[in-house]
Amino acid sequence: MPNDDIIFAPASGQGGAISIVRISGEGCLAMLDSVVSLRHGTIAEAPGFSLRFGVIPGLDEVLVSVFRAPKSYTGEDMAELSCHASQYILSELMGRLSEAGGRVAEAGEFTQRAFLNGKMDLAQAEAVADIISSDSLAQHRVAFNQLRGGYSAELSEIRARLLELTSLLELELDFAEEDVQFADRGRLRELLDSSIEHCTRLADSFRIGNAVRNGVPVAIVGAPNSGKSTLLNALLKDDRAIVSDIPGTTRDTVEECCVLDGILFRFIDTAGIRAASDEIERMGIARTRRKASEAQIILGLIDSSKVTSPAVFEALVRDLAALYDPTWQKLVILVNKVDLRSDNKNVSTLNNFVLPNDIESLGADLMFISAKHGQGLDELLERLVSSSGIPSESGTLVTNARHALALREVSSALSRVRSGMDLGLSSDLLSEDLRSALRSLGSITGEITSDEVLGEIFGKFCIGK
């Protein structure tokens, strides 16, 4: 993307009464004087952070917001035109700006210029796109923290430690022939250990950060006709999945999202697990197992009418428990259709089929619900929110897979330095791994990057941002 052109693009969405067109680049204010006429003075002479009323001859009356370098979003001279939200007016205005010497901005070009002009680092620039696309309070909270520099501050803290390590070791290289050690090895180990711990903690937060960004994945699993599709519809408050008494109605996964208490959840209705009768059903069940292995929370349904003895109930529970990994997944066993039991005594008996200690040993929760009539669903929703693992307060979470990979590369390089120190390797070998760690860290903030990476990142932005 050339950085010396005058660029413009609509910066507002459709449907309002006003449209905003953003213009940026050296000479853009003087260019606007050939498009917009002011009653007094010119746009080129207007001070920054000022608002001017003007007329586009034969087209519209506009307000011109003036921003001067470097105190603008892009760091360049910049303006925003507010006109009436007529598609004809907007199209005609874009044509006049093009004739005056500007060109339509590419996706993300305004934010890319802000990054290149030092108005924000690359992590903050990527947060701009996350804020625009946020659909929940949790998504917005994490992205806003990153935009305001909370995440970058942590990366700067790590970088400062690495620079201290590098400077101490490279100082020794200047006196290698004298075989002198200037660096306190205890201090070096302390800096290394704290940096490795910090990078690992941030990289590990990606599991939660990814759930915030893309929705907490919740797999609804169980035997055919256990009420999985009914539960999905009840959670969504919509008839999203087909409900039928015929076993095996759901052959493929059905995914829908909804926001609960500010957190985006991605519910996945799956094919019923049983001995498959045909190849299509076998494929659906295989997909069910895969989705269960990827979900953060598994809702395992049991049809209470099928529970004829404690042994049957325990076997059903064990089958569901076999689908999840207790080291990182949450399993909630839902005994469904309790409305079909003749009285509450039978429900109490069900509760005793599996002793609390057995449930605890499986790492699972046990609840009794009626998806059809809504019984127990409020408690289930509370359980989902509490099991999401998403903190209620704003904090640093890594939501970008590229960042998580880079942080693990930093941690790996620093671990090699730590091992090298224990083996007594020379400072020049240790310094090489430290420089590798700095390069990986710099790829997150943009201190070290390439045009290909920038094109990939900013190409995902919307036009006008």
Residue 98 placed within a domain: yes
- Beta bridge mates, 64: 52, 81
Which of 104, 120, 136 terminates a domain? The answer is 120
Residue 11 placed within a domain: yes
> Are 317 and 437 within one domain?
no
> Are 294 and 338 within one domain?
yes
- Beta bridge mates, 104: 8
* pTM, 2 dp: 0.79
Residue 454 placed within a domain: no
Most confident of 182-191, 209-218, 267-276: 209-218
Percent of the chain whose predicted confidence (pLDDT) is above 70: 86
> Are 271 and 413 within one domain?
no
Which of 120, 144, 176 terminates a domain? The answer is 120
pLDDT surpasses 50 at 177: yes
Which of 56, 85, 120 terminates a domain? The answer is 120
Q: Which range of residues forms the domain containing residue 181?
A: 124-205+399-446
Residue-level pLDDT at 350: 57
> Are 269 and 146 within one domain?
no
> Are 301 and 240 within one domain?
yes
What mean pLDDT value characterizes the chain? 85
Q: What ranges in 248-309 are assigned the alpha helix state H? A: 279-294
Residue 451 placed within a domain: no
DSSP percent split of the chain into helix, strand, coil, nearest 5: 50, 15, 35
Residue-level pLDDT at 246: 46
> Are 272 and 416 within one domain?
no
Count of structural domains, the chain: 3
> Are 173 and 282 within one domain?
no
Residue 452 placed within a domain: no
3-state secondary structure of 66: strand
The more confidently predicted of residues 97 and 254 is 97
Residue 121 has φ and ψ, to the nearest 5°, of -85, 180
Residue 462 placed within a domain: no
- Residue 429: pLDDT band (50, 70, 90) is confident
Amino acid at 458: F
> Are 74 and 168 within one domain?
no
> Are 224 and 357 within one domain?
yes
Residue 456 placed within a domain: no
250-267 burial, b at 16+ Cβ within 10 Å, e below that, comes to: beebbbbebeebebbbbb
> Are 292 and 248 within one domain?
yes
> Are 365 and 224 within one domain?
yes
When pLDDT is averaged across residues 135-158 and rounded to a whole number, the result is 90
- Residue 251: pLDDT band (50, 70, 90) is very low
Residue 195 placed within a domain: yes
When pLDDT is averaged across residues 349-364 and rounded to a whole number, the result is 61
pLDDT tens figures, 91-127: 999 999 999 999 999 999 999 999 999 999 999 999 9
pLDDT tens figures, 311-350: 888 888 888 888 888 888 899 999 998 877 655 545 555 5
Most confident of 154-163, 234-243, 356-365: 154-163
239: Cα within 13 Å, side-chain hemisphere: 3
> Are 234 and 378 within one domain?
yes
**130: domain CATH number?**
1.20.120.430
According to DSSP, residue 177 is labeled G
Distance of CA 253 to the CA centre of its chain: 23
